[in-house]
Amino acid sequence: MRVAAVDCGTNTIKLLVADVDVEAGTTTDVVRESRMVRLGEGVDRTGRLAEAALERTFAAVEEYAALVREHRVDPAHTRFCATSATRDAANAEEFGDGVEQRLGVRPEVLSGGEEARLAWAGSVRVLRETPSAPVLVVDVGGGSTELVLGHTGAEQDRPDQAHSMDIGSVRLTERHLHSDPPSAAEVAACVADVDAVLDQCPVAVGDTLSVVGVAGTITTLAAGVLGLAAYDRELIDQQVLDVAEVHRECDRLVGLSVEQRLELPWMHPGRADVIAAGALIVSRVLARTRATELVVSESDILDGIAWDLAQRRAQRLARPPA
């Protein structure tokens, strides 16, 4: 079954067109695209999606709509999911109308819990080696961070606990990190904010034996730890990193200016100004776990959306006619 999945977050909008074989449990990419549009710019302060941010996002949606048509995806097999920025915006209806006009499908605004569940489905299902349980999936976005704790293996593959926290790389940069590079006081305020949210998080992070990290903040950190000459999705996927090295990379990035980060050969220009806040979130989460290694997955919520959509459609097609 060919499906099209769109994940629209606070900083990035991503498209996956894939052929999914539900019975075999396989997914084959046809098209995978990503655009940094920063839809959630200023939402933490204003509670609204900015006009310029909407224009950038709609331009990307028009590109994606053309790709979906080119690869002949049935509209019934297309799913557009929006996350943190749209959940928080007073003018989300305007956004929804614009997407539907261009793509032909209405955006589905995911709850934090559903976002976490799809992050698990997209990442853990495709791991080449079974990690020690309990497994914590960490998905650091621009507006929110999802933590999903669960078990995986031959007999069980499920999330037990999931929670979405309103801390993300864009949100915390706008809230705290105003200097370039951030001052010690700004970093301390950001860390205190992250710690306060983690203190209230119902997920038993301290029980974690294995951590799987997904999405751009963590894959970018991985590129830095690996010392890549350029960002390389294939080299980054499934890498197992020493947690101590991840902490050191986080500290290094926080201490750099935006200009210095842009000089790093693997740094995306759209992430350079917010990576410090994302790194602080990653570091503070890892510090609360018992894990000594971080498994990095390039498969994330986007893959979860595609897999979940294919499963649902397959179940409907398998039902006998009334």
What average pLDDT is seen over the chain? Answer: 92
Measured CA to CA in angstroms, residue 29 lies from 26, 53, 118, 258 at distances of 10, 28, 18, 33
191 is written with which tokens? 């860390």
Q: What is the pLDDT of residue 48?
A: 92
| Residue 149, pLDDT score | 93
Reduce the DSSP state of residue 66 to 3 states and report it. Answer: helix
Q: What is the DSSP string of 250-262?
A: HHHHHHS-HHHHH
User: What is residue 153's predicted lDDT score, i.e. its pLDDT?
Assistant: 61
pLDDT in tens, 45-79: 899 999 999 999 999 999 999 999 999 999 889 99
Q: Which residue has the higher pLDDT, 229 or 88?
A: 229
User: Contact 171/40 with Cβ under 8 angstroms?
Assistant: yes
Mean pLDDT for the stretch of residues 307-320: 82
Q: Is the pLDDT of residue 321 over 70?
A: no
Hey, which bits of 180-251 come out as E strands?
210-214, 240-242
**Cα–Cα distance, 221 to 179 (Å, whole number):** 21
pLDDT at 270 over 60: yes
Torsion 141-144-149-155 (CA) sign: negative
Q: Report the percentage of the chain scoring pLDDT > 70.
A: 97
Report the pLDDT value the prediction gives residue 312, as an integer from 0 to 100: 87
Average pLDDT of 280-284?
98
What average pLDDT does range 253-280 have in this prediction?
97
Determine the Cα–Cα distance for residues 13 and 40; give it in Å rounded to an integer: 11
Over residues 140-183, the pLDDT tens digits come to: 998 889 999 998 764 455 688 999 898 999 999 999 999 999 99
pLDDT confidence of residue 155: 47
Render pLDDT for 236-266 as a digit per residue (tens, 0 to 9). Answer: 999 999 999 999 999 999 999 999 999 999 9
Higher pLDDT among residues 317 and 2, named by residue: 2
Section 303-308 average pLDDT: 94
Q: Which residues contact 156 (CB under 8 A, 6 or more apart)?
A: none
Q: Under a CB-based contact definition with an 8 Å cutoff, are residues 142 and 12 in contact?
A: yes
Helix then strand count (H, E) for the chain reads 13, 11
Sheet of 158-165: strand order equals 158-165, 145-151, 135-140, 210-214, 293-297, 240-242
Residue 15 clears pLDDT 50, i.e. is over it: yes
pLDDT at 320 (0 to 100): 64
216 φ, ψ (degrees, to nearest 5): -60, -40
For the cut 90, the answer to whether the pLDDT of residue 317 exceeds it is no
Tell me the CA distances in angstroms from 239 to 32, 199, 231, 253, one per residue in order.
20, 29, 14, 20
